[in-house]
Structure 1
Amino acid sequence: MAPGGPAAPAWLAACALGGLAWALWRRPWQLLRRGDLQHGWLGALLFVALLWTARVALPGGLVFQLFGATLMVTLFGLPLALLSLFLVDLVSLLGLGYLAGAHWSGVDWAALWPRYVWMGLLPALLSAALQVAMRRLLPRHPFVFILGHGYFAAGLAALGAGAARAIWHSYGTGGGVLTLPDTLTAVLILAFGEAFLTGMLVAVFVVYKPQWVVTFRDEEYLRG
């Protein structure tokens, strides 16, 4: 079953379209005029699409997988991350259909908007909000950036988005075999994995490919 359930309500599609409309209004594709960023963006799209294709279905139909949303926000900023995650949603949904041997018409298109909201839009917004707070409250230091934007923002965003989806699945769709506490335990484990993976990649990119990390500015974090 898709993250939003077999009969996802219209408000999920409305939220998704609203987020996409805002991202389009910001015209983030202008960032891709930078030649040094294009390869990183394409690589990130492929990597996160693979993350969304690899998933675990729990008893009761709830699906868990790594999001990669915080990584996209950290690398490319929120507007471009929202558009990129929608492309990831499309590519991975087609990939899941291909792996299941489904024809084009057999792809579960109804899952498009719920997947985007729970795995892309919500964790991306949480990540961006946490990173704004960290920039305002914490000292500007590369280690603080890696630890805060990479590890803590990813873990907390995954925890918040995963918990929201689990609560909605439990009370909004009637739940499943697993109880809500059991599902939240799985969310907590997932959040640790999200934090470790994102933090490790952010650390690598900040050291070796800082030009791919648009939220990391040398004049802010490498002064003096």
Structure 2
Amino acid sequence: MNLPASFFPHWLLILSALSSVMLCGWAAKKETWHTLNQTQITSWLCCSVILLVTWQLKAQIYAGIAFHILGATALTLIAGPYRALLSMAALLGMDLGLTGGDIASWGLSFWLIGVLPVLSTQSLLLFAQNRFSPNLFVYIFVNCFAAGAISMWLFGIANCILLYLTKAYSPQFLFEEMLPIYFLMGWPEAFITGLNLTLLVIWRPEWVISFNDRLYLQKR
């Protein structure tokens, strides 16, 4: 995703960049690196690389408006919120470099495509764990399918609001033409996230840090 820096005031670009760097530092400090095993590191790095490749399959409609799979929900469920934030920040910088994007807007893009989806996914995961008994179908349909769709919808709403506030595009164009497309994109985001996480929890549950097969698949 490439947000043109010319759309935004300098103070917002600086503030978003500084807050993003501070958030990444906080995430790196909060992650329990010493407890990670080789399997967890491998799954995290593999998911990150696949996500970077997936981002190249995008449709850039207008400046600041692109449609592609986010992948933040899958990354959060596989690696946890802290490593997911670090990966999203690094991958976003790499993607801007590969596509010739405006690196000055990296902080804003990170908050939209990284922080918001990771936060919504982790919040829904904690909600489900606190409100429902451990159940495989709750995990798959709520924390994978639903969380994937919600992350895309929140991203689309936030992106349209941001572009509206900066007067980059008219409200009719953003909310009547672009926002419905983001709503439709929520379904492939949900399907791809849910399908891949379902396969992983069945064949490689040790790759998914948010899933405990002894807890979710215990005999009752």
Structure 1 contact 150–195 (Cα < 8 Å) conserved = yes
TM-score by length of 1: 0.86
Match of 2:203 in 1: 208
Unaligned ranges ≥5, structure 1: 98-106
Structure 1 contact 4–114 (Cα < 8 Å) conserved = no
In structure 2, which of residues 41, 45, 51 is the aligned counterpart of residue 42 of structure 1? 45
CA distance in 1: counterparts of 2:23 and 2:185, whole angstroms: 24
CA distance in 1: counterparts of 2:145 and 2:206, whole angstroms: 20
Pairwise CA distance, 1:36: 1.6
Q: Deviations over 1:69-118 (max 9, x none)?
A: 10111001111111111121122222223xxxxxxxxx632132222111
- The 3-state SS of whatever aligns with 1:178 is helix
Q: 1:116 to 1:174 in 2, by over 3 A?
A: same
Number of residue equivalences: 214
CA distance in 2: counterparts of 1:59 and 1:87, whole angstroms: 24
Match of 2:133 in 1: 139
Percent sequence identity over aligned pairs: 22
Structure 2 contact 163–169 (Cα < 8 Å) conserved = yes
Match of 1:95 in 2: 98
Match of 2:60 in 1: 57
- Counterpart check, 1:160 vs 2:154: yes
Structure 2 contact 84–118 (Cα < 8 Å) conserved = yes
CA RMSD across the alignment: 2.1
Q: 1:55 to 1:128 in 2, by over 3 A?
A: same
CA distance in 1: counterparts of 2:16 and 2:67, whole angstroms: 18
- Counterpart check, 1:183 vs 2:186: no
Match of 1:217 in 2: 212
Match of 2:26 in 1: 22
TM-score by length of 2: 0.87
Q: Deviations over 1:140-196 (max 9, x none)?
A: 111211111110011112111221111111223432583422111011011111111
